[in-house]
Structure 1
Amino acid sequence: MMKSIFALALLLPLVSPAELKSVPLFNGKDLSGWKGEGYVIEDGAIVCTPQGRNLMTEQTYANYAFDFEFKLPAAGNNGIGIHYPGEGDAAYTGMEVQVLDDTAEKYKDLKPYQFHGSLYTLLAAKKAPLKPVGEWNQERIVVNGDFVQVSVNGEIITEGKLSDLSKEFPKHEGVKRRSGHIAFCGHGDQVAFRKMSIIEFPPTANEEGATKAGFTKIFDGASLKGWAHTEADLAHWKPVNGILKYDGKANDLWSEKEYGDFDLAFDWRWAAPGPLMKRPVIGPDGKETGEQVEVQELDSGVYVRGNSKSQVNLWNWPCGSGEVYGYRTDKTQPAEVIAGVTPKAKADNPVGEWNRTMISMRGDKLTVSINGQTVIEDAQLPGVAAKGKIALQHHGSQIDFANIWIKEL
């Protein structure tokens, strides 16, 4: 059922801006939401200085349309890093869309993949309809799963599939990535950017199949209807284009309704990186081995049956998501219970990418599947309530949820 009804898919790449909400990425005043050096604000635009190199978003993005305007000086050179992990050369650890005055005499011998709008070293663009140097141009970059597209001043100049490019360039690490920061990749030229905004696309599910199978939505994609919340919570739990975006700065979000036995399916992704910390390796018996691994500390979870002890963890620990910390660390529990709530494998996608999860409760038995792989199977939760609310829990990490469906049994 998990694979056939909720198999992870993405929106079709050609999305009308009128259908989805665009969110500003630049306030026109300062670099709030961005990090890096060598860029200044001039006349409501971000301008690269001679010291400018990489300026990137604090948040990460997976599937989106990035809209912006840019102005080139004569022979100006910059770039847009997409799926950038935040370190290394964005053209190789991520991918770089060229921003270049390719009419300049100094660039008369460019390779095809170096012209404006090309994916550097990967995919050549058609000749961009750039306006004269010193005038503003409009650009849209769409990256949606396997699909990439670049449009300049309303004309599509670049289009391709990342999977094809990955086969053609197997040593290029960035083309394999499916999420990351957006970055300006400066070369010291006074290139200016303004009116930056983003339209994020949620992963989609087979809604018709889910409905026929008895599932109903408990997040409508546009509001917090059905979830207990205050007006203040809306500043932190924000429904945007079918995505429930959480900034890690408010209370847990609880369902208004209580549930007994159920199948709960939902998508989630980490929306920003976390601090590096050492976290323990956990053996199949549920005990810590004594070894520690440095990971990004990212932590959230789902409370089932109204109790924090029966929390299914979403986190970036070495053991992977699905673990039930409250039972695994309860030394009064039998060994088989502790082992049962320990994931069989780490099935999480790389940080920043969407994960599809199914949580099933039958009596006091729990099963968890992540990205089609069962990581917890019929684990007993002794003493768990027969019925209770569901909560989206957090420990301060920025996280996105989407496609929250439930089937009551």
Structure 2
Amino acid sequence: MKKSLFGIVMALALNTAALADTPNTLSEHEKAAGWQLLFDGRTTDGWRSYGKPELSAEWHVENGTLTFTPGKAGDIITEGTFTSFELSIDWKISAGGNSGIFFHVVEGPSYAYMTGPEYQLLDNAGRGEPPLEQAAALFALYAPSRDVSHAADSWNTSKLVVNGEQVEHWLNGVKVVEYDMSSDDFKARVAASKFSPTGRNAAVMKDFAKARSGHIALQDHGNKIAFRNIKIKPLP
């Protein structure tokens, strides 16, 4: 009887572990904590191209991943909008690849980057970009404290925490960037960058990082990239 009970317990534990390791699913614990899937591994439901009602063919499901194959596709956005949240996402980029995750994106301008700050995705070794443009940076504004990215064609896990004005960038379990969007430091960095609302790009950048709610966007930067385990937990 004891052996049988032990066997049942072990089987349940193994089944639970297997479910936790299954991509594009939520555990019972995650569901109870308020997590939501943004990609089910089978369809592109919940996503559309920026400024369009449908999703371009270059963004498609491939072996349980949301994959971008280079073409004239453009960025894609969530159908829903989010204010404060924790976003978790796995990504695997091609050699020399470049992409990004934007948040608080508001449609209207020509491109998502004109309103939404960008969590940078990059093959650091293959691109040789400066720190402000490396993986997990707030693109062109805050460099990661160290490089914890994995090699091209390997999976990385990013976490983006937006809690009011406070933002954290995590990569592969390490917090590498944090900033306050209401701070003088943040405003000064924006003013000194290509995103400046008063600089040479003022006409198109006047709304950059101004919204406190908006879409999540994934970037078409011309390089193949795959995503999985895209999940979000709205914060109060």
TM-score (normalizing by structure 2): 0.72
**Following TM superposition, by how much is the alpha carbon of 1:195 offset from its aligned partner in structure 2, in angstroms?**
0.7
Where 1:143 maps in the other structure, the secondary structure is strand
**Following TM superposition, by how much is the alpha carbon of 1:117 offset from its aligned partner in structure 2, in angstroms?**
0.8
Alignment-mate amino acid for residue 210 of structure 2:
K
Change (3 A) 1:18 1:39: closer
Aligned twin of 1:193? 227
Aligned twin of 1:139? 158
Where 1:103 maps in the other structure, the secondary structure is helix
Change (3 A) 1:18 1:60: closer
Q: Deviations over 1:1-31 (max 9, x none)?
A: xxxxxxxxxxxxxxxx798321111111111
Change (3 A) 1:50 1:147: same
Answer yes or no: is the 8 Å Cα contact 1:49–1:189 preserved in 2.
yes
Q: Deviations over 1:199-231 (max 9, x none)?
A: 0011xxxxxxxxxxxxxxxxxxxxxxxxxxxxx
Instruction: Map 1:197-216 onto structure 2 (within 5 A).
Output: 197-202=231-236
Structure 2 distance, partners of 1:167, 1:19, is 40
**Structure number having the greater strand percentage:** 1
More displaced 10-residue stretch of structure 1: 172-181 or 63-72: 172-181
Alignment-mate amino acid for residue 70 of structure 1:
W
**Following TM superposition, by how much is the alpha carbon of 1:167 offset from its aligned partner in structure 2, in angstroms?**
4.3
* Aligned with 1:34 (options 47, 56, 59): 47
Instruction: Map 1:342-353 onto structure 2 (within 5 A).
Output: none
TM-score (normalizing by structure 1): 0.43
Aligned twin of 1:128? 147
Answer yes or no: is the 8 Å Cα contact 1:56–1:86 preserved in 2.
no
Q: Deviations over 1:261-298 (max 9, x none)?
A: xxxxxxxxxxxxxxxxxxxxxxxxxxxxxxxxxxxxxx
* Aligned with 2:95 (options 62, 74, 88): 74
Alignment-mate amino acid for residue 196 of structure 1:
I
Answer yes or no: is the 8 Å Cα contact 1:71–1:191 preserved in 2.
yes
Structure 2 distance, partners of 1:58, 1:134, is 28
**Following TM superposition, by how much is the alpha carbon of 1:137 offset from its aligned partner in structure 2, in angstroms?**
1.2
Structure 1 distance, partners of 2:114, 2:175, is 24
Answer yes or no: is the 8 Å Cα contact 1:84–1:174 preserved in 2.
no
1:154 and 2:167 equivalent? no
Aligned twin of 1:357? none
Alignment-mate amino acid for residue 176 of structure 2:
I
Where 2:132 maps in the other structure, the secondary structure is helix
Aligned twin of 2:104? 83
**Following TM superposition, by how much is the alpha carbon of 1:142 offset from its aligned partner in structure 2, in angstroms?**
0.7
Question: Larger C-alpha radius of gyration, 1 or 2?
Answer: 1
Structure 2 distance, partners of 1:134, 1:122, is 26
Structure 1 distance, partners of 2:84, 2:76, is 20
**Following TM superposition, by how much is the alpha carbon of 1:89 offset from its aligned partner in structure 2, in angstroms?**
2.6
**Following TM superposition, by how much is the alpha carbon of 1:90 offset from its aligned partner in structure 2, in angstroms?**
2.4
Alignment-mate amino acid for residue 218 of structure 2:
F
Change (3 A) 1:19 1:144: farther
Structure 1 distance, partners of 2:31, 2:75, is 31
- RMSD, aligned CA: 2.0
Answer yes or no: is the 8 Å Cα contact 2:76–2:218 preserved in 1.
yes
Aligned twin of 2:10? none
Aligned twin of 2:65? 45
* Aligned with 1:100 (options 111, 116, 122): 122
Q: Deviations over 1:298-326 (max 9, x none)?
A: xxxxxxxxxxxxxxxxxxxxxxxxxxxxx
Identity, % of aligned pairs? 30
Change (3 A) 1:46 1:133: same
Alignment-mate amino acid for residue 59 of structure 2:
Y
**Following TM superposition, by how much is the alpha carbon of 1:112 offset from its aligned partner in structure 2, in angstroms?**
2.6
Aligned twin of 2:209? 175
Answer yes or no: is the 8 Å Cα contact 2:120–2:139 preserved in 1.
yes
Answer yes or no: is the 8 Å Cα contact 1:91–1:120 preserved in 2.
no
Number of aligned pairs? Answer: 184
Alignment-mate amino acid for residue 43 of structure 2:
D
Higher relative contact order (CA 8 A, sep 6+): 2
Structure 2 distance, partners of 1:32, 1:156, is 30
Where 2:232 maps in the other structure, the secondary structure is strand
Answer yes or no: is the 8 Å Cα contact 2:124–2:149 preserved in 1.
no
Structure 1 distance, partners of 2:164, 2:147, is 24
